[in-house]
Structures are given as C-alpha cells and as structure tokens.
Structure 1
Amino acid sequence: MRVDPLASLIDWIAAYGVFGLLAIGLAERFVPGLPSHAVLVAIGIAAVDGAWSVPVAIIVTTAGSFCGGLALYLLVRMWGERRSVRLLYRLGRLLGLSSARIDKTFTSFRERERTLIFASQLIPTVRLIAPAIAALIRADVGWFAGGTVLGIMGWNGLCIGAGYYAVTIAPGMSASGLAIKMLVLLIVVETLLALAWRIVAHCRSRAATPGRRS
C-alpha cells in the first residue's frame, strides 16, 4: 500500500477548514523545505472533492502567505541592514540559494523594483526571500503590499487551478505524483521565460548602444 504524504497533509488541513488553509499559507513562508507548489496543487485536488471551493482556497492561502511575507518585511525593516543581511544569507543557505544568486536578486530589485516585487512571487524559492530584499532596499510599503498580493494570488491561483483541472485529465493520480509533474513543468516554463527575458534585454541593450555613442 503506497502512502501519499501530500494527501495526508491535505486531510489535516481539511479538518480545520478555512483556518487550515490560512495556516498552511502562513507556514510556507517560514518552514524551510515545505514545497508550496506541491501543497497548493494538492489543495486544488481537494477542491474537486468539495473540501473547499477554488476561489476560497486561493483567497485564504493568499491571505496567509501575504501575512507571512509582510511580517518578514517589517521584521527586516526593524532589525536594520547589517543584521538583516546576515539573516538573509542564512535563510538563503537553508533554501538552497547561493550568495551569488542572492546578490543578483538584490541588483535586479534595485533596477526594477516595482516589476520584481510582483514577479518574484512567481519564482520558486526566490519568492520566499523577496520580502526581505524589498525591505532592505527600502521599497515603499504600499508598492510592496500591492505587488506581493497580486504575485501571491497569481502563484497560488496557478498551482491550485492546475491541481483542480489536472484531476479531470488524469483521474486517480496521487497528489504527490501530480505535484512532481507540476514542478517539472514550472521549471521548464520559467527557464524558457528567463531565456526570453535575457534575449529581449540583450537586444534592447544593443539597440540603445548607438544612441549612447552619438
């Protein structure tokens, strides 16, 4: 008999209803190694069985995740830059992010703050440290709140919706098996988007070079 750990977790969440969804949304911000995409896909699967509706699942998990992100943002603002940077690098190591990756994210945030506050919530792992980076670069709290909520809602909606609709395509598949397939798909899509972004940025840089020289 095979054990599906995600299904067991979802059973626990379902036992607490809306409070369980809120708790798991909050936990994914502070529990290293908790695969948020996998949990969200499983939540979408549970919606098919009537544990909750898809809109309720998206709204409540978004609220929980945002509360966690806002708490991290405010904590970093209060702690000051030196201690917060040390905390960020330690958190990055726990999440498997190298110092170079964190430094690159810092640079990107400073150059395109408003866009990346939103977009960073669609990137696995990076989304967890994004509130801390936003605080360290003194991002406006209003822009941070708005962009983060929209980004989380996009991420949660994508994963929960994928879980919900995938059941109609592959009925009987375990939550864990489906979550692994979704992770592979997300990695492929994000890799292609990153390559497209670099190509566009390179083309813009080359196009702007003659103007700077003239």
Structure 2
Amino acid sequence: MAEWVQNVMETFGYAGILLLMIVENLFPPIPSELILPSAGFAASRGSLNVVIVLVVATLGSVIGTLPLYYIGRAFGEEKLVAWADKHGKWLTLRGKDIRQADDWFDRHGTKAVLFGRMIPGIRSLLSLPAGMSEMPLPKFLTYSAIGSGIWAALLIGAGYLLGEHYDRVEQYISPISRVILVLLVVGVVVWFVRRRREQAAGA
C-alpha cells in the first residue's frame, strides 16, 4: 500500500494527493495516516512544496466528506424517524431515539465535526450525522476544513521530520484506529443489550 501511494504521488504530484485524500474519506482502508506522512516525506526531499501539500490535502479531505454528507441529507431526520418507528423494533431503535441523537448533534455538532476530523476511525463517518441533522453546509465545510487541516498538518509534519522513516506514523496510529473502532462496536452492542433488557422488563 505504501509503495502504491508513493507511486501515485510521484506520477500525479499534487493532483495525486488530492485524489488520495478524497478517496480516503470514502474508503477508510486507504488511511490518511499513510498518505499524509508519505506526502510529508516527498516534501522533505524537495519534490513537493510542504505548504501546497497541506492546502491540497486539506482540500481533498473536505471534498471527500461531501458524498456522505449528502447521503445523510437525503435520508434526513424525518425519514429516519419514520423508518425507526416502522422497522426499528428489531434494533430496539425508536423514532424518539433518532430525535434525541439529532438534538444532541444540533447542540454539539460543530465540536463533533471539528475534533472528530482528527480522530482515526470515525473522522470519515461524521459526515453522515452532520448531513442527517441538516447542519448548514458552510458551517460543516468550515469546521471540517479546520479539523482536517490540523490533522493534515500534524501528519505531514511528522512525515517531513521522520524522512525515510515516515511509515512509522501509520505503525503507531493504526492500532489506535482499531481500538477506537472496537470501542465503538462494543458501545453499540452494550446499548443494544440494555435496550433489549429494558424492553423485556417492561413487557
């Protein structure tokens, strides 16, 4: 994977970084913690300008958030509420739960997008609830750009400083990403089990 990423950058330059960051948001198995340090390493060799790399990487990351954002907008709160009330019983999911989640995102969505864009494992997924809660697009793009820019700067800087050892960044961050995903899955399972027990107790 690392060699393929390097080949894309060497062949297409800044356009390659832009494309990789767009794809990374849609297909998380191509991680930014590999792409961005590699771009930083390329900049350290003088083949790319580090400032332009940062701008292009941030732009690609923001563009990559849009498909999932618009998918979330297409479904929207009311459609999800109607679906949950009709079909969500097997998931112990009610329309009320959707509204509560949407209310939470309305209150804390800006912070969730800003800081969530810097958390491996969930940074791409946050676009869906942002779209579902109908967060205004300018606000979504602004906070996505800030969070993505900080994340990109950290990883590009690490790759720049580590030079040929840039791949160590992914080696350190990948386990963190897996832990976060496992915790998310465990959290969903715990919530599901508790709801089942509450339903059984109330029956």
Provide TM-score, normalisation by structure 1: 0.65
- Other-structure match for 1:179: 170
1:12 aligns with 2:8: yes
Whether the aligned pair in 2 keeps the contact of 1:109 and 1:117 (CA below 8 Å) is no
Report matched runs for 1:38-49 at 5 Å: 38-49=34-45
1:75 aligns with 2:62: no
**Paired AA for residue 156 in structure 2:** I
Report matched runs for 1:1-214 at 5 Å: 5-81=1-77, 82=79, 109-167=105-163, 172-173=164-165, 175-183=166-174, 187=176
**Paired AA for residue 27 in structure 2:** V
Q: Give the distance between the partners of 2:8 and 2:161, measured in 1 at CA.
A: 22
Deviations 1:55-110 (A, max 9, x none): 11111111111111123212321344447xx9xxxxxxxxxxxx9xxx99877534
Q: Give the distance between the partners of 1:149 and 1:105, measured in 2 at CA.
A: 24
Change (3 A) 1:108 1:33: farther
Provide TM-score, normalisation by structure 2: 0.68
Deviating 4+ runs (over 4 angstroms): 103-108
Query: 1:45 Cα deviation (Å)?
Result: 1.1
- For structure 2, list consecutive stretches of 5 or more residues without a partner in the other structure: 84-92, 181-203
3-state SS of 1:51 partner: coil
Whether the aligned pair in 2 keeps the contact of 1:7 and 1:42 (CA below 8 Å) is no
Equivalent pairs counted in the alignment come to 162
Whether the aligned pair in 2 keeps the contact of 1:7 and 1:176 (CA below 8 Å) is no
Change (3 A) 1:164 1:105: farther
Q: Give the distance between the partners of 1:147 and 1:105, measured in 2 at CA.
A: 20
Q: Give the distance between the partners of 1:182 and 1:69, measured in 2 at CA.
A: 21
